[in-house]
Chain A
Amino acid sequence: MNKWSEKARRTSFGRAGAGLAVMVLLAAMPANAQETAVYFQQNCASCHTIGGGRLTGPDLKDVTGRRDREWLKSYILNPQAKMDAGDPYALQLLDEARGVVMPIPPGITPERADYLLDLIEAESALEESQFKGVQISNEPFTAADVARGLAIFKGSRKLKNGGPACYSCHSVSGLGGLGGGNLDPERGDLTLVYERLQGRTVLSSWLMAPATPTMNSVFKAAAMESDEIHALVALFEDRAQAGKPAKSQAQLTFALLGAGGAALALMFFDFVWKGRFLAVRRPLVESEKL
């Protein structure tokens, strides 16, 4: 037993050690401009454009002119801390983003933040930045789009690049039964996400490269196709118009199913073990009274 756990501990130390080494190595690598652009595309572009107008977050064109570099760097490194510290400009940003807090970009380092600011500065100077934002078609959504969106959401239609179905972590109204996953109880319900992210453009670009740490790590290697995003946005628009979040109803269903299931399980065990030893004298006396 002791030997066993000793071994297990050594192995896990080994793994953690290896992981640490890789991370140190990555951070030490000189990030060239090309790499920073890829990083921006994967981690920033879902909420920010450079010269394409605001999405969830503000347009970053000429941002280095609006605030000094040190402020921007510390904000990128930890946006939440800035807000907690009561920085008025950070709070204003929060207000403009309708309460959506910018997550800490995955793998951010002071060095990388510098590169990012360099990139933004350089791109701002261009006539037309490569990060102007994606072109979202304005075709109206059809019922077929909504249905396809629901199929993708529930996973009955697989994502082409192998991403997991939304259903595993999220819920949306009209799923029936227990609803979907509940990974983030506060914002995991996507019924009103269309409103929260102010419509089609922002939502679509968000889905191009999801920015939250969890989704980012999952979808970095399995980006969604634009027709899939189109269908999902159609679904979210439809659900947002319909209104109510799915949460409360799913919770009730869950509680009821749980209670019912427990009762059934007890009845089952009672049946299987009906010959169990309960008492001797009392049944004897009671059988005679009948």
Chain B
Amino acid sequence: MNVRSQISMVFHLDKCIGCHTCSIACKNIWTDRKGTDYMWWNNVETKPGTGFPALWEDQDKFKGGWEKHNGKIRLKSTGKGRIIPNIFHNPNMPSMDDYYEPWTYDYQNLFNAPEGPDQPTAKPISMVTGEYIDIESGPNWDDDLGGSPIYAANDPNLEGLTKEQRLQLMSIEQLVFFYFPRICNHCMNPACVASCPSGALYKRGEDGIVLVDQKRCRAWRSCIAACPYKKVYFNWFTGKSEKCILCFPRIETGQAPACFHSCVGRIRYLGVLLYDADRIEEVSNLPQEELIDGQRSMILDPNDSHVIENALKNGIAESTIKSAQESPVYQYVKVWKLALPPHIEYRTLPMLFYVPPMAPVMAQQKAGGLDSISENLFHDIEEARVPMKFLGNLLGGGQEGKVLYALRKEKSVRWYRRAVTVGDVDLETAERMLKEADCTVKEAQAIYELTSLCTFDQRFVIPPAHREEAIEALKDPMEHKQGTGFGFLSGPRRGL
């Protein structure tokens, strides 16, 4: 057993209101520099939709992630031999048009325009070329546009849906959408790290954050093609790749990452997971339908004495183990099995998990009123406007079972709380539902508390980073503290 600790995440989609506050918080801190203007390390997508960059989930086009080859997995986009003919031209990358051409507005014109019969306008200006442009797309172009014929209708997750289901998603008063906020998944088996010819990408040992070494990056851009989530971006000004760093400077000082901290809907949870790194290759090779269970089995119980012993042997601090025991992520992913990895079929074993959203019900009209209660207590899940197949493609590794399990549990907890606080449904039915949904009263209470009443400290359980111990190996921590923050910094530059 090779125990590693990873700071991982849960996004509760049932709570996301799609306000983009997370994206703005991230942009203001990290990607307002020249060359990063088009990057959104955090973005919020409307689903069904093609996302950002357009159709990122279509791996026939972008060739991201891993694929099975002769019984083992290999990168879909490249390999040691395969990279040679393509090292100077990697064809499977999104173009600027597939992201969008970043723009600002010519505000000066509002002040400087000569007097004329019309109001002056601030025309859009490209932040890349500085020329006037016509805006054709943006990072959230299809925001709130469920049912749109171009973007929503081409969501790759619609694969396998019947024609009726597709039509229903487009028809008025029946169409539906939900929000899908995305950051780097800081995967256990990251394709970007595996693809880099320069070895510039690495997964930090102490907390599993995946980073790009800006000094080592040589602009091959293999990571951009290899990441199936398209969460590595190329800075066209410095000629280096950049990605979400999970705000590691904030994490190291005990603060939640900016997008987590600013989240209005409080949908984000962050905490340590302990996992067995010896099993990464084995689990990545499992058949698609066994991947979710496989990944869950890699996540270790932080209260198990055998695990603790091995963790200590691997140099994981006691404070980190304690943090793992309090981790909300562990509860959502492993104990309650509510949170699911996005597109685990890409085999990168993402460490960001999503609680599937409950969708509006297809109501039936009865005697002039709308009726949404039937004999089947879970009818609104099967009859939800978002087809199970769609959620299965997105979060279930192509299977509906795991998503259905999570949604039934969410529904039963909601029903139970309704019986307790409102009292318009009887407790007996509610408890029967809990039982059917594989949940106990105690667990329902815990889910309810962590979902609805959670405090800041319950949502973000950040282990102490122990930087002083890391520094100790190199120099006196006190001396380092006195000297840090001074000296010369050289930003990456190329001839532009």
Partner of B92, one of A277, A279, A281, A284: A277
**CB-contacts of A239-280 with B (<8 A):** 276-277, 279-280
Q: Does any Cβ of A come within 8 Å of B55's Cβ?
A: yes
Cβ of B91: which chain A residues have Cβ within 8 Å of it? 276-277
Please, which residues of chain B bring their CB within 8 A of the CB of A280? 53-55, 58, 61-62, 94-95, 98
Measured between beta carbons, the chain B residues less than 8 angstroms from A288 are: 149-150
Tell me how far the C-beta of B50 lies from the nearest C-beta in chain A, rounded to whole angstroms.
7
Is A284's CB under 8 angstroms from B61's CB?
no
B98, A285: Cβ atoms closer than 8 Å: no
Question: Which residues in window 18-58 of A have CB below 8 A to B?
Answer: none
Interface string of B62-95 (1 = CB under 8 A from A): 1000000000000000000000000000011011
B97 within 8 A of A: yes
Measured between beta carbons, the chain A residues less than 8 angstroms from B168 are: none
Give CA–CA (A276, B92) in the complex, Å. 9
- Complex interface: chain A residues within 8 A of B53 (CB): 280-281
Q: A-side binding surface: helix, strand, loop or mixed?
A: helix
Task: Verify B98–A277 contact, CB threshold 8 A.
Answer: no
B134 to chain A, nearest CB (A): 13
Task: Considering the complex, give the chain A residue whose CB is closest to the CB of B151.
Answer: A284
- B interface majority secondary structure: loop
CA distance A281 to B55 in the complex (A): 8
Closest residue of A by beta carbon distance from B154 = A284
How many chain-A residues does the 8 Å CB contact rule pick out? 9
The size class of the interface chain B forms with chain A is: 10 to 19
B319 contacts A by Cβ under 8 Å: no
Q: How far is the CA of A281 from the CA of B150 in the complex (A)?
A: 10
Q: Give residues 88-137 of B contacting A (CB, 8 Å).
A: 91-92, 94-95, 97-98, 136-137
B154 engages A282 (CB within 8 Å): no
CA distance A279 to B53 in the complex (A): 11
Complex CA gap A223/B98 in Å reads 70
A284 to B154, CA, bound (A): 8
Contact of B137 among A276, A277, A281 (CB under 8 A): A281
Q: Which of A276, A277, A281 contacts B54 (CB 8 A)?
A: A281
Q: Mark B126-163, 1 if CB is under 8 A from A, else 0.
A: 00000000001100000000000111001000000000
From A282, which residue of chain B is reached at the shortest CB distance? B97
Are A279 and B150 in contact, CB atoms less than 8 angstroms apart? Answer: no
Q: Within the assembled complex, what's the spacing in Å between the Cα atoms of A285 and B151?
A: 8
Residues in A with CB closer than 8 Å to B137 are 281
Which 5 A-B residue pairs are closest in the complex by CB-CB distance? A281-B54, A280-B98, A288-B150, A277-B91, A281-B98
Interface residues of A (CB under 8 A from B): 276-277, 279-282, 284-285, 288
User: Chain B residues in contact with chain A, CB under 8 A?
Assistant: 50, 53-55, 58, 61-62, 91-92, 94-95, 97-98, 136-137, 149-151, 154
Listed A/B pairs (22) with beta-carbon separation below 8 Å: A276-B91, A277-B61, A277-B92, A279-B97, A280-B53, A280-B54, A280-B55, A280-B61, A280-B62, A280-B98, A281-B50, A281-B53, A281-B55, A281-B97, A281-B98, A281-B137, A282-B97, A284-B151, A284-B154, A285-B136, A285-B150, A288-B149
